[in-house]
Amino acid sequence: MASLSRRGLLASVAVIAAAPLLDACGSPKEKKEGTSSQDELGKALPSYVPGNSVKPDIPIVNGANGATTDPAFLSYPASPPKSVTGTVGSGGSYTTMTPLWGSIPPSSGNAYYDTVNKAIGATLKLQPADGNTYGDLLPPLFASDKLPDWINIPTWNTTNLSFGDAVAAKFADLTPYLAGDKIKQYPNLAALSPNAWISGVWNGKLYGLPIYSSNAVVAGAYYYRKDLFDKAGASADVKSVADLENLGKQLTNAQAGVWAFDDLFGNDAAYIGQLYGFQGATYPWSADASGKLVHRYETEGIVEALNWFAKMVKAGYVHPDAVANNSQNGKQRFWSGKVAICADGTGAWNGDDNKSGSAADPSYNRQAFKLFSAKGGDPTVELGNGASMFSYLNKKLSDAQIKELLNVANYLAAPYGSAEWITVNFGAPGTDFNLTQGNPLLTEQGSKEVATTFQFLSCPATAITVQAGAAQVVKDYAAWQADLVKHVYKPLFYGMNVSEPKQYNTLSKPMTDTITDVKLGRKPISAWTDAVANWRKTGGDELRTFYDGIRQKYGTGK
- What pLDDT, in 10s, does the model give residues 6-34? 223 222 222 222 223 333 333 344 567 68
What are φ and ψ of residue 312, in 5° steps?
-65, -35
Q: Are residues 324 and 343 in the same domain?
A: yes
Q: What is the pLDDT of residue 468?
A: 56
Q: Are residues 225 and 339 in the same domain?
A: yes
Q: What is the pLDDT of residue 167?
A: 93
Q: Are residues 432 and 289 in the same domain?
A: no
- CATH number of residue 165's parent domain: 3.40.190.10
Q: Are residues 107 and 246 in the same domain?
A: no
> How is 54-117 classified by DSSP, letter by letter?
S--SB---B-STT-BPPPB-SS--SSPPP---S----S-EEEEEEEESSPPPPSTT-HHHHHHH
- Structural domain contains residue 485: no
Quick check: 175 and 206 in contact, CB under 8 A? yes
- Structural domain contains residue 469: no
Q: 406, 440, 460: which is the final residue of a domain?
A: 460
Q: What is the pLDDT of residue 7?
A: 29
- Structural domain contains residue 474: no
- Secondary structure tally for the chain: helices H, strands E: 21, 18
Quick check: 397 and 150 in contact, CB under 8 A? no
Q: Are residues 456 and 430 in the same domain?
A: yes
Q: What is the pLDDT of residue 328?
A: 81
Q: What is the pLDDT of residue 315?
A: 98
Q: What is the pLDDT of residue 558?
A: 62
Q: 442, 460, 478: which is the final residue of a domain?
A: 460
- Structural domain contains residue 230: yes
Q: Are residues 343 and 234 in the same domain?
A: yes
Q: Are residues 197 and 231 in the same domain?
A: no
- Structural domain contains residue 529: yes
> How is 299-358 classified by DSSP, letter by letter?
SHHHHHHHHHHHHHHHHT-B-HHHHTT--TTHHHHHHTTSEEEEEE-GGG-SSGGGSBTT
Distance separating the N- and C-terminal Cα atoms of the chain: 29
- How far apart, in Å, are the Cα atoms of 287 and each of 177, 186, 278, 521, 551? 37, 39, 11, 30, 11
Quick check: 471 and 477 in contact, CB under 8 A? no
- Structural domain contains residue 78: no
Give the amino acid at 367.
Q
pTM exceeding 0.85: yes
Q: Are residues 327 and 392 in the same domain?
A: no
- Structural domain contains residue 213: yes
- Structural domain contains residue 106: yes
Q: 460, 479, 514: which is the final residue of a domain?
A: 460
Q: Are residues 353 and 393 in the same domain?
A: no
Q: Are residues 112 and 42 in the same domain?
A: yes
Q: Are residues 269 and 341 in the same domain?
A: yes
Enumerate the β-bridge partners of residue 95: 125
Taking the C-alpha atoms of residue 350 and residue 480, their distance in angstroms, rounded to an integer, is 13
Quick check: 236 and 226 in contact, CB under 8 A? yes
Number of domains in the chain: 2
Quick check: 342 and 272 in contact, CB under 8 A? no
Q: Are residues 366 and 308 in the same domain?
A: yes
Per-residue pLDDT tens over the stretch 181-202: 999 999 999 999 988 999 999 9
Low-confidence ranges of the chain (pLDDT < 70): 1-31, 33, 354-360, 468-469, 558
Q: Give residue 160's domain range.
A: 35-56+92-217+386-460
